Amino acid sequence: MKIRNIFKTAFYTLFLTVFISCNIENNESLNHNNNKIKVAIFNGSGASAVCILETYESLKIDTGISPGFISASEITEGKLDDYDVIIFPGGSASKELNNLGQNAANKVIKYVKSGHGAVGICAGGYLFSTTKDYPSLELVSATEWDREHYDKGRALIEFELTPEGESVFPELTNQSCFLQYYDGPVFMPADSGRSNTLKYNEYAKFVTDIQIHKGYPANITPGKTFLFSEKIENGRAIVVAGHPESTPGMRWMVPRLARWAANKPLVSYNKKWVRPQIYSQPILFKSELVKKEKAYFWDLLSDNPEQKTEAMQKLWEMHSRPAVRWNMGLLRDSDYRVREKAAILLKRAEYSAALPDLLTAYNMEINSNTKSVIKESIDFLSKY
């Protein structure tokens, strides 16, 4: 068994070395020829504004991708054909479908089948699914396993890759993998009699038992599909139940998903973005933890700088998803220690959306040491 593991590790190292060297060259070639992959993020009603922004910022990690936004009316006008891939972000799938309307929805289906790519993140996965009694695009042959308890809650969850998944995300081979999760879909192949030309490729499975609310059934999620893909006629769709765009150390997964959907070479990314090792265990935001999170938020509004910085650290340690954004306001605190802590945590969270706030903070800062700390964060977040 040990010999097998040694062989596997050696093979993986060799594979990743070739993968990185070959694809860095591909990435430079793509940039040199200005032949970027054009990715549209759906920004219509139903799509979360935060998810839209964080998806956009994550795509910027890949310098071979040109991200943009597209509305339902623009899809109706035929502007989707200007893009290689469309991403439907988190939010509400039913509201996204309602905003699309039948005309734009049909155009999305035709777009994918004709040879383009589609990425569904959380609600986007619901939107793509074929789930009984749930209005959707029926783009993929996957159904929601536990529709009755769709509002499973918020968590940092663990997932594990299948061998096929390791071929798409080789950086995560032999790694414990975690992503932010919020009421995401729990999929299985649909028994719908759809065309057998559709192929359901499972890339990852849930490990964490997401049992947060009292009275909800346990052991629903472990072993169920967390990330999968399908080839749909001439196009491709890929779906993830969690939120890589809001998970520091894992945001690079978003451009990787887009590249797979576009059927383009998979390139490697700067190691500063690829940090699965920063997580060690799942965190379920049950009622008691939510109460602590709220109490720490109120501490951020206190007059005591030490109380503020302690609360900021505690929120980071619990990997509170909203707390990342709270740090932007703390860049404008009256105490230099709080401003420094905010800049450090924004860097640690890879929150590039905070760059305008950081630049203003840098220009306004009078404390030389704090100014240096802020500059380090700016340099880190602005260099891809």
The string of pLDDT tens digits covering residues 22-61 is: 443 344 444 444 699 999 999 999 999 999 999 999 999 9
DSSP annotation of 237 reads E
CB atoms within 10 A of CB 102: 8
DSSP annotation of 218 reads S
Q: CA 174 to CA 179: how far, in whole Å?
A: 16
How large is the average pLDDT for residues 320-343? Answer: 98
Length of the chain: 384
Q: Is the pLDDT of residue 179 over 50?
A: yes
Q: Is 383 helix (H, G, I), strand (E, B) or coil?
A: coil
What local confidence, expressed as pLDDT, does residue 148 receive? 78
Looking at 92-101, 180-189, 190-199, 365-374, which range is the least confident one? 190-199
Q: CA 251 to CA 350: how far, in whole Å?
A: 9
Which residues does residue 66 pair with via DSSP β-bridges, in sequence order?
A: 38
What local confidence, expressed as pLDDT, does residue 191 receive? 63
Q: CA 275 to CA 244: how far, in whole Å?
A: 12
What local confidence, expressed as pLDDT, does residue 11 receive? 42
Which residues does residue 232 pair with via DSSP β-bridges, in sequence order?
A: 235
What's the CATH number of domain 286-382, 3.30.428.10, 3.40.50.2300, 1.10.540.10, 1.25.10.10? Answer: 1.25.10.10
Q: Is 84 helix (H, G, I), strand (E, B) or coil?
A: coil
In one-letter notation, the amino acid at residue 117 is G
Residue 278's closest CA among 254, 321, 249? 249
Pairing of strands 37-42, 65-70: parallel
174, 7 Cβ separation under 8 angstroms: no
Residue 87's closest CA among 35, 47, 141? 47
Domain residues of the chain, as ranges?
2-278, 286-382
Q: Is the pLDDT of residue 133 over 60?
A: yes
What does pTM read for this prediction? 0.90
User: pLDDT (tens digit, 9 = 90+) per residue, 294-308?
Assistant: 999 999 999 999 999
Q: CA 27 to CA 247: how far, in whole Å?
A: 24
User: pLDDT (tens digit, 9 = 90+) per residue, 46-103?
Assistant: 999 999 999 999 999 999 999 999 999 999 999 999 999 999 999 999 999 999 999 9
Residue 126's closest CA among 159, 177, 92, 175? 92
DSSP annotation of 47 reads B
CATH architecture of 2-278: 3-Layer(aba) Sandwich (3.40)
Q: CA 125 to CA 100: how far, in whole Å?
A: 15
Pairing of strands 199-206, 154-161: antiparallel
